[in-house]
Amino acid sequence: MKLTKLKYILCLPLIWLCTLSAHAQKPDEQTHVSATVVDATNHPIAGVLVYKQESKNDKGINTNAQGKFNMDGTTSDVLVFKMTGYLTTTKSMEEIKLANNKITLTTALIGAGDDDDVYIPFGVRKQRQITSTITTVKGDDLPQVPTSSLVNSFTGRLSGLLITPNSSQQPGYDVSNFVVRGRSSYNNNQDPLVLVDGVERDFRSMDLGEIESISVLKDAGTLAWYGMYAANGVIYVRTKRGSATSTKVTFDGQYGVSNPLEITNPLDSYTYASLYNEAQTNSGIAPTYSQAALTAYQTGSDPYKYPTNNFVRDFMRKSAPTQRYVTTVSGGNSYVKFFTLLSYYNQGGLYKGGNNPLYDANTNFNKYNLRTNLDLKVSKNLDVSLDVGGRITNLRFPIIGTGTFLSTVYNTPPNAFPLLNPDGSYGGTSLFQKSNPLAQMSASGVATDLSRNMMATISARQKMDGILPGLSANVYYAYDVYGLYRSGFSQDYEVYEPNGTGGYTRYGTATIPNYSQNTFSGNVRKNELWIGLDYDHTFGKHTINFSTRGSKAVYATFGALDMHRDGISNRLSYNFIQRYFLDLTGTVSGSENFMPGKRVGFFPAASAGWIVSDERFMKGATFLDFLKLRGSYGLVGNDALTSLARRFSFLTTYNSGAGGYNFGTSYTGVGGTSENPLGNPDLTWERAYKTSVGFDATLLKQMFSISADYFHEDRKNLLTNSLVPSIIGQSLVQISAGEATYTGFEANLNFHKKIGQVDLNLFGNYTYSTSKILAINEGAGLPDYQKQLGHPITSVMLTNSGSYVRNFLQADGIFQNQAQIDASPVQRFSRTVKPGDIKYKDINGDGVIDNLDFVTTDYNFVPKAFFGFGTKVAVHNFDLSLFFQGVQGRTISIQNIINSGSANNGYLNQFSVDRWTPSTPNADFPRLILSDRGNNTQNSDFWLRSGDYIRLKNAEFGYTIPASITRKLRLSQLRVYVSGLNLLTFDHLGNLPIDPELPEAGYNSSYPYMRIYSFGLNLKF
């Protein structure tokens, strides 16, 4: 049965049951209870807070010395019982009477209190029951910063999760890459599986107010549940839900400004012309600019003939506004719980300088988020949840594209042309016909991307205690749709260049504004169904939890075949006296990426835990409150082999209409059919064998806590090149014969203590990981020093577009004179090598510097270690939080920044001032040249720098208005605060004005990485 039909069938009985339940509810009756609260040994508990749902906690009553209390109400009123050291309990007045007016509270074990729930795939456990490695951060602990991407709020806060932003940082497209623990595959796709409430969804554009918690699942104990799809780890996002014990209405508002961390500082025309002359001289070319021209640039005597532009100053703002407003309503009772959120976000763009009465071409981003989560108790045995989330984004940008506009602003020579000629026309030249930024902003058109995203989930749980106590049936269905609609205005302009005779030469053709062609793209529809059984029961000292789910997912995009995923997941959990724990997971899942008959695999895992601190022999260790040892081992898969050239690569396919052959005396090409690389029917998924061993401990009356893990992964069946001999005349797509591994450790620490009026919290996390290639097919005859075998998996990213380089020449300084050149091996990357050029080492000793002198290195863009640490301090009504984030053992390349530009601007930029000359032999960079530049632009360690840094990622200072004032305003809480993002950075780059986290941001054609300052207001009603 198709999933689109199944969703309607599922909804009908749920609607009927909800209606039936509403009619079946009994009318309320006035009643009175006089009851006693006791513990598990039947001893009364004094001081227990008792209050009705929907009332404020401070309006409740406390039990007396005998544990007794009295309260009036109705039969449907639900009472809440709260006491430190015990689990919160809720009982209706009718239930209390049926229990002979006695309420028993359960002692909260360490790691098993009210706030210690940990969400695992389609299940929940207390923290002490977890045998796997899961790190969680709560949404309420994340900084309230007006940023378009949720990722900025938790970078560095979760051990084992490395977040690296890429160059697409313009408003609305600030995308980041994720790595969990490390890389054990040298194939492309290493992104973890991202789940929102158990369904694969993008979460970066969610509002922070929607988030209950973000968890990282790292080891096989939890990942095996997802079988073939989770070898790279899982980021598990859980959204907020209503509470049966209180109703809350909140409002959060932030307004701030964002400004670039780094941005190109362009040369002035005099400096540019002087350096251009020097580069021409070094290249054997007569200088272009005379002394009179240089003087005119200095004095600004003729701004039309000798213009001095600063495009960054004229077309980039120093700051842009950003704002965010969020309203939530949550609450409920015994029958219904609800959470609703509505948020609005706006981020202004950095561009300026254009004016068109029909449109504004400056970048601007708006986002609306809506979410409603409902939990319904339809009947005694049936629970239903309905979640609906929506998101609308509106991104405006110049129709020529962000990259094109920024490249123009950053790289166009300052003296290329006047922005406007004396007659008011746009300036330009034959060389710069489409490089006038004023015209680009005013007369090139604008595009608007409108995206709509709707996510709906319905789930139901039917208790089946009549068949078997603890048995329940569960169904979970999700339906998501996404669409992108582009509209706008198209326009073109013409530029004019003086022709020397008093007239102008025109380039281009001006057009009036017209509506651009509307397009729909990126349309995606997802259906996902999970259905199965749960069994949860306690037999004396034994507890068993068993879950089984069958799953099916369909991903549909326009113009492509639907993608399918299927599986059956099973998990058995056992614990004895809440001290010894065992979890077994076994999943059967398949992927259509492989040959029929070879698509299904089995993925088992086992994990165990032991609460050592509960043993008798540990009772003497009074400093130790809690100690748990845990470990896991299992197999997980990865079917997303994105380095394949095509889908269904197990098939041999043909390409019609391309290639062909030449026939006849005229040697005319005739279209034909060509064979693509041979399919490989033996392609298979990556197999990741994961081991993790660790412990959790709390010390000194739970003042200090620590968790640490050692982990190792061996990944087999990686895609690598085939060794099919070329004699067959065709290549094989690739084969599954590679192997790699990573090993490392991670730790989380937390210190919390109240010292008088000071509430102090210190926390931090650290992750260290190294990788190694164990098997890879490389070219025959390759020297050992150029092989990847035995080296780390990743390498250095030359650009943030994803181009990686592993082999580098080894630089040996800069040639200072011709004698050094004559005494050195011949360098063949340029026709002529002169003083001021980079000198390289002769690795193979043949007296020649060529391709055989490149060396495979361990330089790595992915750091060996990454960490985060911070503090929260509260004194009276003031609070302060600081959070630092950083990486260690990371290498970045500055070559594409230092050598940015093109032949049109002579490859000159702000860094050209620090070039080598005979009078500056210790300069940072080689001499300036316009042609024959191959020697100085080779990939070499000359251009590599340390990418290590520590950044003050977030700081927040707040003040909570005293309750005596907020009561008069009929508010529960009023807090004002100031916060900042990306505030301060410590690195090893010296005077280089480059951001170590995102090196190309603000250069070449990349949008700057932003620092944000904001003021916020939080209201609770």
Angle (CA) 535-537-542 rounded to 5° is 130
Residue with tokens 């911070």: 870
What mean pLDDT comes out for the span 518-537? 91
**Cα 811 to Cα 124: distance, rounded to the nearest angstrom:** 56
Considering the entire predicted model, what is its pTM?
A: 0.90
Q: Report the pLDDT value the prediction gives residue 14, as an integer from 0 to 100.
A: 42
The token pair that represents 349 in the structure block: 């763009």
**Interatomic CA distance for residues 900 and 115, integer angstroms:** 53
Whole-number Å distance between alpha carbons of 418 and 306: 8
How long a stretch of residues is the chain?
1021
* Long-range contacts of residues 463-472, Cβ cutoff 8 Å, at least 24 apart: 463/380, 463/381, 463/382, 464/381, 465/381, 468/535, 469/537, 470/535, 470/536, 470/537, 471/533, 471/534, 471/535, 472/533, 472/534, 472/535, 472/536
Q: Hey, which residues does 688 pair with through a beta bridge?
A: 636, 715
User: Quick one: which of 480, 320, 452 has its CA closest to 395?
Assistant: 452
How does residue 115 score in pLDDT terms, banded at 50, 70 and 90? Answer: confident
Query: Treating both helix axes as pointing N-terminal to C-terminal, what angle do 269-282 and 291-299 enclose, rounded to 10 degrees?
Result: 160
Strand, helix or coil at 412? coil
Pick from 8-12, 414-418, 471-475, 738-742: least confident = 8-12
Q: What is the tens place of the pLDDT at every residue in 538-563?
A: 998 999 999 999 999 999 987 788 88
Is 323 a residue whose pLDDT tops 90? Answer: yes
Band the pLDDT of 644: cuts 50, 70, 90: low
pLDDT at 297 over 70: yes
pLDDT at 519 over 90: no
Distance between CA atoms of residues 990 and 798, nearest Å:
20
In the prediction, which pLDDT does 275 show? 97
pLDDT of residue 13: 41
Q: Which residues pair with 963 in a beta bridge?
A: none
d(CA 731, CA 734): 9
Residue 665 has pLDDT above 80, yes or no: no
The Cα 474–Cα 618 span in angstroms is 41
H or E stretch covering 767: strand 758-775
pLDDT value of position 643: 52
Tokens 């890429």 correspond to 166
In the chain, the N- to C-terminal Cα span, in Å, equals 48
Note the pLDDT of residue 624. Answer: 92
Selected residue with higher pLDDT from 668 and 932: 932
Dump pLDDT digits (tens) for 196-247. Answer: 999 999 888 899 999 999 999 999 999 999 999 999 999 999 999 998 877 8
Query: What per-residue confidence (pLDDT) applies to 229?
Result: 92
Quick one: which H or E segment has residue 11? helix 3-24
Would you say residue 800 has pLDDT above 80? no
Residue range 648-652: mean pLDDT, rounded: 84
Rounded mean pLDDT, 455-481:
95
Q: What is the distance between the alpha carbons of residues 689 and 604, in angstroms, rounded to a whole number?
A: 10
DSSP code at position 940: B
Residue with the larger pLDDT of the pair 478 and 560? 478
For residues 90-111, average pLDDT: 85
d(CA 583, CA 632): 9
Mean pLDDT, residues 878-883 taken together:
96
So what's the pLDDT on residue 57?
46
**pLDDT at residue number 16:** 40
Spatial contact of 547 and 531, defined as CB atoms under 8 Å apart: no
pLDDT of residue 968: 86
pLDDT reported for residue 19: 43
pLDDT digits (tens, 9 = 90+) for 610-631: 999 999 998 888 899 999 999 9
pLDDT digits (tens, 9 = 90+) for 391-448: 999 999 999 999 999 999 999 999 999 999 999 999 999 999 999 999 999 999 999 9
Distances (CA, A) of 1016 to 329, 882, 974: 19, 16, 11
d(CA 512, CA 517): 15
Give 988-1014 pLDDT, tens digit per residue: 999 999 999 999 999 999 999 999 999
Residue 3: which pLDDT band, with cuts at 50, 70 and 90?
very low
Quick check: 26 pLDDT over 80? no
What pLDDT shows up at residue 12?
Answer: 42
**β-strand partners of 505:** 497
From 175-179, 238-242, 524-528, 639-643, the region with the lowest mean pLDDT:
639-643
pLDDT of residue 668: 67
More confident residue, 800 or 233: 233
Query: How far is CA 792 from each of CA 188, 232, 692, 864, rounded to the nearest angstrom?
Result: 15, 17, 21, 10
Provide the mean pLDDT of the chain.
90
Q: What is the pLDDT of residues 147-156, one digit of tens each?
A: 888 888 889 9
**pLDDT bracket for residue 663 (50, 70, 90):** low
Residue 970 banded pLDDT, cuts 50, 70, 90: confident
**Residue pLDDT, tens place only, 837-856:** 999 999 999 999 999 999 99
Confidence of residue 658 (pLDDT cuts 50, 70, 90): low
Assess whether pLDDT exceeds 90 at residue 661: no
Mean pLDDT of 294-320: 95
User: 915 pLDDT band (50/70/90 cuts)?
Assistant: very high
Q: What is the pLDDT of residue 672?
A: 73
Whether 75 shows a pLDDT value over 80: the answer reads no
CA–CA dist 105, 912 (Å, integer):
73
The answer on pLDDT for 527 being more than 60 is yes
Task: Report whether pLDDT(17) > 60.
Answer: no
| The pLDDT value given to residue 437 | 96
pLDDT (tens digit per residue) in 392-406 = 999 999 999 999 999
**Residue of 111 and 708 predicted with greater confidence:** 708
Higher pLDDT, 834 or 205: 834
Biggest CA–CA distance in the chain, Å, is 111
What is the residue-wise DSSP string for 590-621?
A: EETTS-TTS-EEEEEEEEEEEEGGGSGGGTT-
